[in-house]
Amino acid sequence: MSNDLQLLSYFDSALFCSDLAGRSKGAVLKEMVECVARSHGVRDRSLLLEMLERRESLGSTGIGKGVAIPHGRSLAVVSLRVLFARSLKGVEFDAVDSKPVKLFFLIVAPPQDKKNEYLPLLGKIAELVKEKKTRDRLLKVEDFAQLRAVLEESGLGQ
């Protein structure tokens, strides 16, 4: 994995959602797409949502331990972005361990990203959430500054 992959540079305060209202997989995906569309170059919301729903139909991105990393490439987005969202109540997301998901990292990228960072970024986030201590801290973040602090202290923020 590239050492120059700056995990923090893909996060943005506009892409921070501390309490998702959605109670189903479809509602949460739509809510996250709306958040990305409000803040960054999304050409077509419905195309982006359709891509994410299609990706979920192939197999859930709920990786277990209360975490999901919905992701995909689409012409609907201009650049690689990551949205962090949290559901305080948890959402049934067909996760591999059948547990509700509370932490979401939505990764969207154009079909071609010149620096080829999409998969390394996905790997870094999966590595980040392996630690129970990190997941517990992420569940408590109230704002973007706290999220940034958790990422920096995890050693993956660099």
Catalytic positions are: 71
* Contact in structure between 79 and 114 (CB atoms under 8 Å): no
**Tokens describing residue 57:** 């139909």
Q: How far apart are the first and last CA of the chain?
A: 13
Q: 81 - beta bridge partners?
A: 108
Q: What gap in Å lies between CA 9 and CA 12, rounded to an integer? A: 8
CA distance 80 to 150: 21
Amino acid (1-letter code) at residue 7: L
Pair type for strands 67-68 and 71-73: unpaired
